[in-house]
Chains A and B, each alone.
Chain A
């Protein structure tokens, strides 16, 4: 119940920020806005890039003010404002019109607000604090919060619900995992969440997968290959996404090396259900019925 209250509060804050961003800075000059943003910690280089976009007429002055205004509003809430400017720059780089960039920027802002709500609650747990403050592999509180907020917001942007993210983070609070995982490991592992099938509808399964991947020693390189491998396994095995996730978790539990799990997945062998029909021994020559005629 507490989580829902926080999420509702976060939504209201997001709405308020959007409104404030659109009105408060309407009368302020561009240089004043930029200065204000810099004072609040928005990277100068990002603001300069954005101004270049304005000068190159990729975006209008109105769009520029909305984007910077949104960044300022986020900075005031100690949220990673650089994300929205970076997204705007991405849009400019890809030749997207300002009218199409603004809704995406707003969506990111809302997602970051929701994400920060979930992360702040999770980081309030004593066991998480203990992990962050560990000397070996530890990380500064603010840096960890920013990176976790960024990485989980990318899942929320892609329609993973805040409740699902919260559920998955709860599973990561498992003591046996926290004893071996570092803050860096957790940031990287959460990076695959947007690509996990059914992350929103079945957060339990996705959470288990992330926990087992961390316990199984999956590094950034293997985790990065996991989403595509899961996609291949689902298609090749013709099994539902949940079954594939469960099968992979089972392989991880069986202490199968990460490299081999990925290879199994690309071959459609999820360790449960039919393996891929690679031509070779046992599949030739199938006569359609496996019954010889004497």
Chain B
């Protein structure tokens, strides 16, 4: 597991270093909740209706998204910690790593692969790994359908009982998503084991959701799920009478037959999030389940409620000090430009507004690494560049990806300033 995490961290580092077309988000989530079944636990998700406890769930995750041409990769990794306040249970500790690759084949078709691993440790340890190729069809700009199929591996070790277990599941998923308007997002998914096909009813997990997005960035989502698992068992009767069927058994004789049992889990949930500001988001969720089994009585009802806070930010990994992001602001009648630059040398603005005279308009250092100047400009679109001068060396600085640039016709890029 450590090797997987290390590999993921290295992948992130490599991605950051090699391309400017990337975005990284670090997110710290912490939530407290109460659950009556660990199946509803956000990290554990293992059936234990007896584990009724309050819990805290804290995660530190980083995601880097890289794209170029029709390729995109997101790499997510981080650490998870979950103390269960039931004193008999050790805290859960672990981590996860996900890699999601997509290649846009045509304007309506995308191929990709999801792979990942998660590890948790308490009084036992569990490792999950999975790999799933996928194909996404954009039926319309706001409707997509995705099919994925692959394998998932689970290994389990209980330290106390010295139990070891290893399982492999070959799984499929069919997902549908539509945005009928900007506000509404509807989703549906059907998941199951490949070996149940084509008899889907022998085991599946169906999910549906409806989300509403408010103008201030808040969102509320309602979810519904139905899981169904069927298994066969042999029932032996000892003269109590056979089930209806043919041939009829004689009186008093012992007979056995196979019957199909169906377990169903119904799940209902609601989750919501409210952005407090650009970094902090409050969120809350509640979910209930109803388990019905023909073989075991009584039916089981469980729930979980939780709420918490998420802190997210985009760290600056700009190793290249020569990449700049000029910020323009209207200051009374003049345009003020501010540039954060930590390298050496003096900076000059050169562009349409000074007839591209290389002598340039000097930027003065206002404070540590912050340079600025003001220009009087009339309405229009102006192209410009920033020239760095150090001794006898002069060079044009590159612009960051979030700056509006156009080709200059000479094989380079100019930034564009729009003045109203």
Most buried by B among A150, A184, A277, A293: A293
| A256 / chain B contacts, CB cutoff of 8 Å | 182, 215
Name the one of A90, A158, A188, A225 contacting B402, with C-beta atoms under 8 angstroms.
A225
For A291, give its contact among B167, B171, B283, B409 (CB under 8 Å). Answer: B171
Per-position 1/0 for B409-420, Cβ under 8 A of A: 110101011111
Q: Mark A224-267, 1 if CB is under 8 A from B, else 0.
A: 11111101100110111011001100110111110010000010
**B147 on interface, CB distance cutoff 8 Å:** no
Q: Mark B47-76, 1 if CB is under 8 A from A, else 0.
A: 100000000000101110101000010101
- Residues of B near A292 (CB, < 8 A) are 39, 45-47, 205, 227
> Are A284 and B406 in contact, CB atoms less than 8 angstroms apart?
no
Contact in complex: A294, B39 (CB < 8 Å): yes
A18 on interface, CB distance cutoff 8 Å: no
Of the four ranges (under 10, 10 to 19, 20 to 34, 35 or more), the interface on chain A belongs to 35 or more
CA A254 to CA B138, docked complex, whole Å: 23
Q: How far is the CA of A235 from the CA of B29 in the complex (A)?
A: 26
Q: A188-B379, A191-B416, A272-B141 are in contact. List 15 more A-B contacts (CB 8 A).
A: A49-B357, A86-B352, A185-B420, A188-B420, A240-B107, A250-B182, A260-B215, A277-B65, A278-B27, A280-B312, A284-B29, A284-B43, A284-B96, A289-B169, A292-B46
Nearest CB in chain A: distance from B83 CB, A: 17
B310 proximal to A (CB < 8 A): yes
The B-contacting residues of A in range 101-144, CB under 8 angstroms, are: 104, 107-108
**What are 6 A-to-B residue pairs whose CB atoms are below 8 Å?**
A187-B381, A188-B381, A192-B418, A257-B215, A284-B61, A290-B189
In the complex, are the beta carbons of B110 and A279 less than 8 A apart? no
Q: Are A45 and B217 in contact (CB under 8 A)?
A: no
Docked pose: A291 CA to B74 CA in angstroms: 22
Query: Does B125 interact with chain A (Cβ within 8 Å)?
Result: no
Chain A residues, Cβ within 8 Å of B417: 224
Query: Chain A's interface: helix, strand, loop or mixed, by majority?
Result: helix
Give the B-binding residues of A (Cβ under 8 A): 45-46, 49, 86-87, 89-94, 96, 100, 104, 107-108, 147, 150-151, 154, 157-158, 184-185, 187-188, 191-192, 194-195, 219-221, 223-229, 231-232, 235-236, 238-240, 242-243, 246-247, 250-251, 253-257, 260, 266, 268, 271-274, 276-294
Taken together as a complex, chains A and B put the C-alpha atoms of A273 and B144 apart, in Å, by: 7
* Cα–Cα distance between A283 and B283 once the two chains are bound (Å): 13
Tell me which residues across on chain B come within 8 A of A187, comparing CB atoms.
Answer: 379-381
Question: Which A residues touch B67, using CB under 8 A?
Answer: 235-236
A274: chain B residues within 8 A (beta carbon): 144, 177
B361 at the interface (CB under 8 A from A): no
- A240 and chain B: residue at smallest CB distance: B107
Q: Does A194 lie within 8 Å of B138, measured CB to CB? A: no
C-alpha spacing A104/B47, complex, angstroms: 70
Chain A residue nearest to B98 (CB atoms) is A286
CB contact between A243 and one of B21, B47, B130, B138 (< 8 Å): that residue = B138
Max chain B CB contacts within 10 Å: which of A227, A247, A287? A287
Bound complex: CA of A289 vs CA of B25, how far in Å? Answer: 24
Residues of B within 8 A of A192 (CB): 404, 418
- A220–B419 touching, CB < 8 Å: yes
What separation, in Å, do the CA atoms of A239 and B137 have in the docked complex? Answer: 10
The 9 closest A-B pairs by CB, nearest first: A288-B130, A243-B141, A272-B142, A191-B381, A220-B420, A235-B67, A240-B107, A291-B205, A90-B356
Give the distance in Å from the alpha carbon of A91 to the alpha carbon of B189 in the complex: 57
Judge whether A228 and B98 touch: CB under 8 Å: no
Minimum Cβ distance to chain A for residue B387 (Å): 9
